[in-house]
Chains A and B, each alone.
Chain A
Amino acid sequence: MQKITLPIKDDVIRALKVGDSVSLTGVMITGRDAVHKWMIDTFVKKSRKPAGDDAEVYEALKPILDGGAIYHCGPVVAGLDTGAYSFVAAGPTTSIREEPYQGDVMQHFNIKAVIGKGGMGPKTLEACSDVPGVYLHAIGGAASLIAQSVQQVLTVHKLDFGVPEAIWVIDVKDFPAVVTMDSHGGSVHVEVETQSKAQLDKLLAS
């Protein structure tokens, strides 16, 4: 298990290979469908003008994401009425829905680690080579354990997107994950699918 502290330097990213187990410590944000679309439309493609607190949130996110991590997660959060937030359950959600956006978002903010489950496609893999960055697979279903690794909820942006879709800024300690896409073009997802297909063909013929 390799310990990694956020923000992450390029040489640390380049040294990571698919199959490596890592544990992350530092400040990261959650972001899923609504957040990715908002980032692309407002700041990357600029197809809509910043409105409300958009510009402010953007400035707040930039330093966290520079060398940082984004987690595909729709958490269950306690303390919504008091503002004393804490994470109760925080397993990963399926990442592939962000495939159209993820690569551009990584490039724009210099994001080094994308965390989720199920893996991502060729556009994200390419961004992993360029930025450079990695895709970290969290363990699906390990909701209690991951929530426990969240030491503190620092703040929340865009709560109007809804609790699961908001941008939660969290301070994590020893968040467990596995590198399944690296900065050298390696993808466990492509490997396992290819290899299991060959095995399936054999088993169907036997």
Chain B
Amino acid sequence: MPDLTEAFLELVRLTSTDLPPDVEASLKRAREQEAPGSAAQSALDTILENVALARKNSTPICQDTGTPIFYVQHPPGWSTTKLKGQIRTAVAEATKKTYLRPNAVDTITGKNSGDNLGDPAFPTIHFEETEGEDLIVDLILKGGGCENVGAQYSLPNGRLGAGRDLEGVRKVVLDAVFNAQGKGCAPGVLGVAIGGDRGSSYYASKEALFRKLDDENADSELAKLENRLTQDANQLRIGPMGFGGETTVLGVKAKSLHRLPASYFVSVSYMCWAHRRRRMTVHGDETIYE
């Protein structure tokens, strides 16, 4: 098994400093849709300028570099203990190189660890053994401001008139977008999970964010829901930064999970415009980043 510490460090650098092409393209389209000279357009101009500058100087797109969430798919026979060790070393090194801000705070003592390494759950690393020959590692840096506006609902919800069906799901997700206003650094991307228990549901809402903005959901019902939610959310006209305007969300990614007969959870993870998501594939001697 090769030592991939350097490769992981590059994955972190790329994720923190270079916004993925699909997100940037979507922000550019959003910019074209805003009224010329509007506050919304000016916010998007500033955002796009910042993205270009961060890429050029290899500096963090946003100073809040968030929780690193790794999702590792590995072929049979790889040691997850070793991979975990290499990822943690790379995260500490990336913090030293200021690609990441020290973000791991001990909840009891209030002390910041200084290197982004906390208990075993910080950074978050999820492993999955797969049939293929390649090692595939996805990384998201999930900021705090937008994490704070995430929400979970238990259906039915009387206040919103939301029942246990996809129509009910639509209603509660719109309520979450309304409550977030611009505070999650809109325009955001919504990861939505339906079903599961409270824990698995929130986790799946994060997993949904690993999908590219332009990829269509394989489940036609969920694909319809994603499109409808994107349209409806944008009709709220909260706009970039909450300044009012055409684009409140760049997209919605949904996922469904089996649930208990007694429960029907809907979890919404809000990802800010700084949707820092990258993938690394190790194929033989080659490492590919996208």
List chain A positions with a Cβ less than 8 A from chain B: 1, 19-21, 75-76, 88-91, 94, 117-119, 137, 139-148, 176, 178, 180, 188-189, 191-193, 195-197, 199-200, 203-204
Give the shortest distance, in Å, between B15 (CB) and chain A (any CB): 15
Given contacts A142-B50, A188-B242, 5 further A-B contacts (CB under 8 A): A19-B39, A139-B47, A139-B241, A141-B62, A180-B39
In the bound assembly, the distance between CA atoms of A197 and B160 in angstroms comes to 13
Q: Give the residues in chain A near B98, CB-CB below 8 Å.
A: 76, 88
Can you give 24 A-B contacts (C-beta < 8 A)? A21-B42, A76-B98, A89-B59, A91-B62, A91-B63, A94-B145, A117-B241, A118-B183, A141-B61, A141-B185, A142-B49, A143-B61, A143-B62, A145-B46, A145-B49, A178-B42, A192-B182, A192-B238, A192-B243, A192-B244, A199-B235, A200-B174, A203-B232, A203-B235
- Residue in contact with B237 in the complex, picked from A1, A146, A195, CB distance below 8 Å: A195
- Residue in contact with B242 in the complex, picked from A76, A144, A189, A204, CB distance below 8 Å: A189
Q: Give the residues in chain A near B242, CB-CB below 8 Å.
A: 118-119, 188-189, 192
Given A141-B273, A144-B57, A145-B46: A193 touches B241 (CB 8 Å cut-off): no
Q: Is A140 a contact partner of B59 (Cβ separation < 8 A)? A: no
Q: Is A199 a contact partner of B60 (Cβ separation < 8 A)? A: no
- Residue in contact with B178 in the complex, picked from A21, A141, A143, A197, CB distance below 8 Å: A197
Q: Is B241 a contact partner of A204 (Cβ separation < 8 A)? A: no
Q: Is B243 a contact partner of A144 (Cβ separation < 8 A)? A: no
Q: Is B53 an interface residue (CB 8 A)?
A: yes
Q: What are the 4 tightest A-B residue pairs by CB atom distance, in nearest-first order?
A: A89-B63, A145-B50, A21-B42, A141-B62
Interface centre among B37, B63, B171, B242 (most CB of A within 10 A): B63
Q: Give the residues in chain B near A144, CB-CB below 8 Å.
A: 50, 53-54, 57, 59-61
Q: Give the residues in chain B near A21, CB-CB below 8 Å.
A: 37, 39, 42
Q: Give the residues in chain A near B61, CB-CB below 8 Å.
A: 141, 143-144
Q: Which residue of A lies closest to B17 (CB)?
A: A144
Q: Which residue of A lies closest to B148 (CB)?
A: A94
Q: Is B42 a contact partner of A199 (Cβ separation < 8 A)? A: no
Interface centre among A94, A137, A203 (most CB of B within 10 A): A203
Give the shortest distance, in Å, between A36 (CB) and chain B (any CB): 20
Q: Which residue of A lies closest to B38 (CB)?
A: A19
Q: Is A196 a contact partner of B178 (Cβ separation < 8 A)? A: yes
Query: CB within 8 Å of A: which of B50-76?
Result: 50, 53-54, 57, 59-64
Given A140-B145, A204-B161: A191 touches B244 (CB 8 Å cut-off): yes
In the bound assembly, the distance between CA atoms of A180 and B38 in angstroms comes to 12
Chain B contributes a number of interface residues (CB within 8 A of A) equal to: 45
Q: Give the residues in chain B near A188, CB-CB below 8 Å.
A: 39, 242-244
- B247-273 to A contact mask, C-beta < 8 Å, 1/0: 000000000000000000000000011
Interface centre among A20, A119, A142 (most CB of B within 10 A): A142
Given A88-B98, A118-B182: A1 touches B241 (CB 8 Å cut-off): no
In the bound assembly, the distance between CA atoms of A140 and B244 in angstroms comes to 15
In the bound assembly, the distance between CA atoms of A140 and B43 in angstroms comes to 9
Q: Give the residues in chain B near A176, CB-CB below 8 Å.
A: 42, 46
Q: Is B239 an interface residue (CB 8 A)?
A: yes
In the bound assembly, the distance between CA atoms of A94 and B64 in angstroms comes to 13
Q: Give the residues in chain A near B211, CB-CB below 8 Å.
A: none
Q: Which residue of A lies closest to B143 (CB)?
A: A141
Q: Is B236 an interface residue (CB 8 A)?
A: yes
Q: Is B236 a contact partner of A139 (Cβ separation < 8 A)? A: no
Q: Is B201 an interface residue (CB 8 A)?
A: no
- B31-44 to A contact mask, C-beta < 8 Å, 1/0: 00000011100110
Q: Give the residues in chain A near B38, CB-CB below 8 Å.
A: 19
In the bound assembly, the distance between CA atoms of A118 and B182 in angstroms comes to 7
Q: Which residue of B lies closest to A202 (CB)?
A: B235
Q: Is B101 a contact partner of A76 (Cβ separation < 8 A)? A: yes
Q: Which residue of A lies closest to B58 (CB)?
A: A144
In the bound assembly, the distance between CA atoms of A118 and B37 in angstroms comes to 21
In the bound assembly, the distance between CA atoms of A195 and B239 in angstroms comes to 12
Give the shortest distance, in Å, between B281 (CB) and chain A (any CB): 28
